[in-house]
Each structure stands twice: as C-alpha cells, then as structure tokens.
Amino acid sequence: MVEASRADARRNHERLLIAAHEVFGKEGSESSLREIARRAGVGIGTLYRHFPTRESLLEALIRDSVEQLRDRADQLARTVPPERALITWLQDFVQRTNSYGGMPAAIVAALHNRRSDLYASCEAMRVAAGELLARAQQVGAVRPDVTATELFALASGVALVADQMPYGKALVDRLLTLMMSGLAR
C-alpha cells in the first residue's frame, strides 16, 4: 500500500514535469499552472504538493540544462583555447536559456534573490561562466578589469532580447561577438 502510494506519487511527479515541459515550451514560463495540472491529469492541489512554487517547477525542468552547461564549460576549458571556449559557452548559454520563453528573466531574477528555488542552479551557472572568464583573462584574451558579474549581465541581456524576438542563432551569435569585440573602432 505504501509502495503503491509512492509509485502513484512518483508517476504524478513525472506527469507534471512532462506537462510543464510541454506547456512552458509552448506558452512560456508564466503559463497557467492549472493548465499544467489539467494536462497532467492531476488535481491542482497535487501540483502544489509536488511543486510548492512556480520556481520549484521551473528549477526541476532546467536542472538538466544547468548541469549540461557546467559540464560543457569543463569540456571547453580542456579542449579549446580560452577565448574561443568563453564565446562558445556564451552561445550555448543563450541558446539553452531560450528553451522556454521567460527563462532568461527567471534566471536573472533568481540570481538576485537568494531564497529563490532557482538560486542554487543559477549560481552554479554563474560560477562556470566566471571560471571561463578567469582563464580567458589569464591568457590575456579578455581585459582584466571585466568582472564575472558584468560578463553575466551582458550575456543575460542578449538572452533577454533573444527571448523576446524571433531572432535566429546567427543574430544571437553576432550580438555575442559584438559584445566581446565592441562596437567602437
């Protein structure tokens, strides 16, 4: 009985994640939670039991992406020159964070609220970016006075605009390149 109950709970958990992935993917991260519960075939109370906040649901969905971004940073650090590693990671970052509409905004907000359910995941992302930045600075590829906060703010800015526009990958990469090399001449 306890076993059966746990299996049910696990199945509901799974269904909610699937439904949330579908709905967030189509309507963005501000979608109706009721709609997600409906799509999962579950009472609204059950959604709240499994995910007490919208952010906790979002967190469960993006944890994979965050871990992949961290692995990607390590991989790039080992296989590619520091400057190239940084720009490539930034491209991946923007692409990944644009997998759900509203996700860049959720990440930026979370980074400024230590009590957010998304905080830990996002902080891990920022650390990964900071390490790639430090390496690029050590070899003199990036000016030493740029901080990780500044880099992340600018990259988040690109992710935020990209989220709101029908931008293709080409334009996003162009914006990141401009951000790195600068507009002035």
Which of residues 45 and 166 has its CB atom nearest to a second copy in the complex? 166
> SS3 for 8?
helix
- Using an 8 Å Cβ cutoff, are 99 and 21 in contact? no
Binding site for DNA (CB under 7 A): 2, 5-6, 8-9, 12, 31-35, 42-46, 48-50, 52-54
Written as one letter, the residue type at 13 is H
- Using an 8 Å Cβ cutoff, are 23 and 36 in contact? yes
Which of the listed partners (DNA, a second copy, none) does 78 bind, with a CB threshold of 5 to 8 Å by partner kind?
A: none
The contact mask relative to a second copy for 49-88 (x = CB under 8 A, - = no) is ----------------------------------x-----
Residues binding a second copy: what is the number (CB under 8 A)?
Answer: 35
Which of the listed partners (DNA, a second copy, none) does 15 bind, with a CB threshold of 5 to 8 Å by partner kind?
A: none
- Using an 8 Å Cβ cutoff, are 49 and 90 in contact? no
R_g over Cα of the chain: 19
Which of residues 52 and 168 has its CB atom nearest to DNA in the complex? 52
Distance CA 67, CA 69 (A): 5
CB atoms under 10 Å from CB of 167, counted, come to 16
Question: Does position 150 bind a second copy by CB under 8 A?
Answer: yes
Residues that bind a second copy (CB under 8 A): 83, 105, 108-109, 112, 140-144, 146, 150-151, 153-154, 156-158, 160-161, 164-167, 171, 174-175, 178-185
